Amino acid sequence: AQSVTQLGSHVSVSEGALVLLRCNYSSSVPPYLFWYVQYPNQGLQLLLKYTSAATLVKGINGFEAEFKKSETSFHLTKPSAHMSDAAEYFCAVSVFTGGGNKLTFGTGTQLKVEL
């Protein structure tokens, strides 16, 4: 079964510092991987996705992620954190069946950005 694991339920960084949120996946087939962001009392917004093309994926708001098959990882990074980045971030893997496609999410990482 395909799954993702997010290491660190809470991450705190200073404004301007590097953001690194970790995600490892388990999949018997080449995975489609996603990062979503969720602001308080809102739905999920797609930050970026990996669909077996380039291994370095650039997303919105300056975020990027690198797919590393040897490490089964898809970590999310941003060179310089901004206060507006404070939110919850979810890594997800797409699970394809005969019926369709469903997303399996990690448990989330709450990002706090401090002055």
Partner 1 sequence: DAGVTQSPTHLIKTRGQQVTLRCSPKSGHDTVSWYQQALGQGPQFIFQYYEEEERQRGNFPDRFSGHQFPNYSSELNVNALLLGDSALYLCASSPDRFGEQFFGPGTRLTVL
Residue numbers at the binding site for partner 1 (CB under 8 A): 36, 41-46, 49, 90, 92, 96-97, 99-108
CA 58, 59, 61, 63 torsion: positive or negative? negative
Going by C-beta distance under 8 Å and a sequence separation of 6 or more, which residues neighbour residue 10? Answer: 109, 110, 112
Q: How far is the CB of 63 from partner 1 (least distance, A)?
A: 17
For partner 1, the closer of residues 38 and 77 by Cβ is 38
DSSP 31-90: PEEEEEEE-TT--EEEEEEE-SS-SEEE-GGG-EEEEETTTTEEEEEESS--GGG-EEEE
For partner 1, the closer of residues 15 and 24 by Cβ is 24
Q: How far is the CB of 39 from partner 1 (least distance, A)?
A: 10
Q: How far is the CB of 32 from partner 1 (least distance, A)?
A: 9
Q: How far is the CB of 13 from partner 1 (least distance, A)?
A: 21
For partner 1, the closer of residues 70 and 97 by Cβ is 97
